[in-house]
Amino acid sequence: MRISDFNKLKNVIGNFKNAKVLVVGDLILDEFIWGDVSRISPEAPVPVVWVKRESFMPGGASNVANNLSSLGAHTYLAGVIGDDERGAILKGELEQKNIDVSGIVVDASRPTTLKTRVVAHHQQVVRIDKEKVGGLSDDLIKRIINNTKNIIEKVDAVIIEDYGKGVITPKLLKEIVPFARARKKIISVDPKEEHLRYYKGITLITPNNHEASKAVGFEIKDAATLKRAGQAILKKFKCKIALITLGENGMAVFEKNKPMKHIPTVAQDVFDVSGAGDTVIASYTLSLASGANPLQAAHISNCAGGIVVGKVGIAVVTPEELMDRINRERIK
């Protein structure tokens, strides 16, 4: 990496604290049960976990907001929680992280989504999901739309986090995407297959390899099909940037009338990929909002993703960690 490039990335990260970003989507509470395994159960061929401690973290769209806040952005969140203990815990966790929760509405008819992960010796043993998936009432959707529009007026970027739990609907997308676009806001989408046809006219879409294959109708299996898929996604969604994440192979950046740019993964011991996609869309969008071009944003988000997979559990990145990693990549 050239010194001029490094200085530009340094300036972008320095600008994180001035950016304002809204995340709208499915809110999840992540519970972690940490323990040790020393034997197999005599009742069934499964490990017996001796629990040492438990912890909670924001998950889903909440984790994207947590990543943004950790990186220094002024962060706003819109979505739904239940009128229950899980919702209260999640809201409390968010408020402790200085995330504006004024866009969150409470629905007494559905529980807050909970994902419980049992972790032993730095590895997940099992995950347990407790949730109610389905459509929200028209009144609830209207309240979320109104909250979202009010916040869009004062932010630089909007991230739509679709986990398929019911918050992101065609009605919501048809309202908030044109509203944000008319105000020249950056619009980033982490897509779900069932809503692909509604993500039109956005700034950035971040499918993984599988989601990108579904979007274009053919399998991505080599560099040639990857290039075809990226250009097809740009055309199909009328977006400015397509970022296809490729797991251990890094990521590919596509812009209209420009060649594909492949960013190799940052060398890293991988302990846990949970939430890595959240870190990538958060850091990429924040970089765009802080003055980066699409390729510079990709370098930053690639480094951010490389940091979190080296941690156990749902993790976040700090500006200091990011600068240290980019500096190390520069001097290799």
**Options 36, 156, 278, 324, the catalytic residue:** 278
Beta strand 47-60 with 20-25 is: unpaired
> Maximum CA pair distance of the chain?
63
Q: Taken in order 243, 246, 247, 248, is the CA torsion positive or negative?
A: negative
Contact assessment for residue 25 and residue 79, using Cβ atoms and an 8 Å cutoff: yes
Half-sphere exposure of 44 toward its Cβ, with a 13 Å CA cutoff?
3
The helix (run of H) or strand (run of E) holding residue 199 is none
Contact assessment for residue 99 and residue 77, using Cβ atoms and an 8 Å cutoff: yes
Task: Find the DSSP H helices in 250-293.
Answer: 276-289
Residue with tokens 């994902």: 115
Spatial CA neighbour of 285 closest among 145, 124, 156:
156
Q: Is 278 a catalytic residue?
A: yes
For residue 94 the two structure tokens come to: 């968010």
Query: Three-state secondary structure along 99-165?
Result: CEEEEEEEECCCCCEEEEEEEECCEEEEEEEECCCCCCCHHHHHHHHHHHHHHHCCCCEEEEECCCC
First to last CA, the chain: 9
CB atoms within 10 A of CB 69: 23
Could you say which DSSP state residue 208 is in? B
> Which of the residues are catalytic?
278
